[in-house]
Structure 1
Amino acid sequence: MIDQTEKDRWAGVFTALVTPFRDGEIDLPAFDALVERQIVAGVAGLVPVGTTGEAATLSDAEAVALIERTVRIAAGRALVVAGAGSNDTGKTVAKVRAAEKAGADAVLVVTPYYNKPTQAGLIAHYDAVAAATGRPVMLYSVPGRCGVEIAPATCAELMARRANVFVIKEAGGSVERVTRLRAACGDDLIVHSGDDGLTLPFLALGAVGVTSVVANVAPEAMVALVAAWRRGDRAEALRLHESLADLIAAMFVESNPGPVKAALALAGEIAPDMRLPLVPVAASTRELLAGLLDPRTVTGRAA
């Protein structure tokens, strides 16, 4: 059984951090500033080297360096959940062990992509991964990217097998999945929304937080939304949800993290650079984002 203290550690906004690049290399000062801004805004967690962090194009050394920097800057002020997934179980185990050694509080492990394993394959994969670490393993179901979702029964089986499996990032785009997951797994399962726009309905159905892309740009608003819901101010939570709706939608008009990097670039915080095969967003997307951001923040300095 997961105690309330552990549940509280996972409540709130966890920012899926972008990885700033400049001239092909990681822009470490920009990354450090981004992490500090998130903490000051009150996020509960930081998620380096995930999908939004372009983990697929990072070397193992780069990934470890970013995890270590996040841990050092966070200094216990926020939970650090390191992206550590791949489509090879052996490689995933190695990534998880490296993340643990780097000081991560937990690991985020996406379902194996391209392979499209069966549910039996997912059980075997996550069981091997969870056995390799003493850190909590955050399951990550995102069928739109990986082609397979974690079935509720699979989640329940993994929780029964491994004490460090008790949290899931659910990014299948279905609010109804929260109810099915909780029905299969019970109250010990901690659910995060993996879709910013579904944060409020997920919370209403029993989720405790969100692993957020838009928080890179608007951490204060996302933190305020979740906090309003948790203190029972439904009207304020709804107001904040509606105020963020257009910006959240714009985050996904092109492949993530293109739009969120463009928004941060418009605010002068990072360059819009990405690693191939991803490229910076089209001019039309940039114009859309500029129209949605606070004009006082749009500088274009990093463009």
Structure 2
Amino acid sequence: MEAFIGTGVALITPFKEDLSVDTEALSNLVKDQIENGIEYLVVLGTTAESATLTGDEKELIKKVVKEANAGKLPLVLGVGGNNTAGLVEELKTADLEGFDAILSVSPYYNKPTQEGIYRHFEAVSKASPLPIIIYNVPGRTASNILPETVNRIARNLDNVIGIKEAAGDIVQAMKLISLVPENFMVISGDDMITLPMTLAGGRGVISVIGQGLPKEFSDMVRAGLNAEVSKAYKLHYRIAPSIDLIFAEGNPAGIKALLAKKGMISNTLRLPLVEASENLQSRINHFVDNF
């Protein structure tokens, strides 16, 4: 668990202009995270546009990340879905070598009840050879994992070690922190409320803006974990405008525009996602130039 306290980054998938995976850019991005203080990396999450990747591309991305990381940071692999039986089979057969945990999103589109969500993660827990971080993101799944359900999961499923909580609700996050066992990690999945969640007892973040501003964002989270409130909020208010910008037209369009401005990737996405509008790119460029 100690490996996942602090700042994790949900890696994008860089594409070349021909829409193939840019392995060189991905390798350089991983090395940049390592050099700038990120604590762990999340591979093939939503931010990676994983829904548009083939099986072979996913295996390539796993290979490139592991080679670039060279054992320096813990790695979390996104493995989720809304077909419980299919997900169980995937966990039993997937090559998970080199990964330290999985991140598994609550079933999307199906809109299960709280009992259905619990039973889904119970099945995932039995099938997974690695520790599990569950992922609550109601804006994408159309259902919310309630704090009481998370507490039930935390107390009954031993290999579920935490939750990436991205409901965007600080009150729900505080209730969640108050209910779960002390050794169960509540991790922010919302960059803007990462600091208040951390100060309220959270264990850090799985971040998007963190890969664009890795040093500053990870410094903010560490300051929050150390109760250095003034230092942490000074960094928060410096970073905050970029968070609004990168999510203004959806993820990962914004963070890709920011990384492109920094010269790290080509600003290319796969349909149905498209690059940020010229107006938003201009505002992101202005932020980067003046940061």
Q: TM-score, normalised by structure 2?
A: 0.95
Cα distance between partner residues in 2 of 1:278 and 1:267: 21
Name the aligned partner's letter for residue 122 of structure 2: D
Matched, 1:49 2:39: no
Q: For 1:100 and 1:9, how far apart are their aligned partners in 2? A: 21
Moved more, 92-101 or 277-286: 92-101
Distance 2:231 2:94 in 1: 37
What is the number of residues matched between the two proteins?
290
Unaligned runs of 5+ in 2: none
Task: Sort the Cα spacing of 1:251 and 1:118 in 2 relative to 1 into closer, same or farther, 3 A.
Answer: same
Please tell me whether residue 16 in structure 1 is matched to residue 10 in structure 2.
yes
Q: State the SS of the aligned residue for 2:48.
A: coil
The secondary structure found in structure 2 opposite 1:46 is strand
Any stretches of 5+ residues in structure 1 without a counterpart?
Answer: 1-5, 297-303
**CA offset digits 1:240-277 (Å, max 9, x no partner):** 00000101110110010001001111111111111110
**8 Å Cα contact 2:155-2:181 kept in structure 1:** no
Q: Determine helix, strand or coil for the equivalent of 2:47.
A: coil
Equivalent in 28, 31, 34 of residue 29 of structure 2: 34
What residue identity is the alignment partner of 2:266?
A
Residue 182 of structure 2 is aligned to residue 187 of structure 1: yes
Q: What amino acid maps onto 1:18 in structure 2? A: I
- 1:184-214, CA deviations, whole angstroms, 9 ceiling, x for partnerless residues? 3221220111011101100111001110000
Q: Percent identity at matched positions?
A: 36
Q: Kindly tell me: are residues 207 and 164 of structure 1, through their superposed partners in 2, closer, same or farther at Cα, counting changes over 3 Å?
A: same
Say if 2:154 and 2:181, in contact at 8 Å, map to a contact too: no
For residue 67 of structure 1, what is the aligned residue in structure 2?
62
- Alignment of structure 1 residues 113-262 onto 2, 5 Å: 113-262=108-257
Q: Shift in Å at residue 169 of structure 1?
A: 0.3
Counterparts in 2 of 1:97 and 1:219: CA distance versus 1, 3 Å? farther
TM score, norm. by length of structure 1: 0.91
How far apart are the structure 1 equivalents of 2:196 and 2:44?
A: 27
- Tell me how far apart the structure 1 counterparts of residues 234 and 82 of structure 2 sit (CA, whole Å): 40
The letter for the 2-side match of 1:268 is G
- Structure 1 residue ranges, 4+ long, deviating more than 6 angstroms after superposition: none
CA RMSD of superposed structures (Å): 1.6
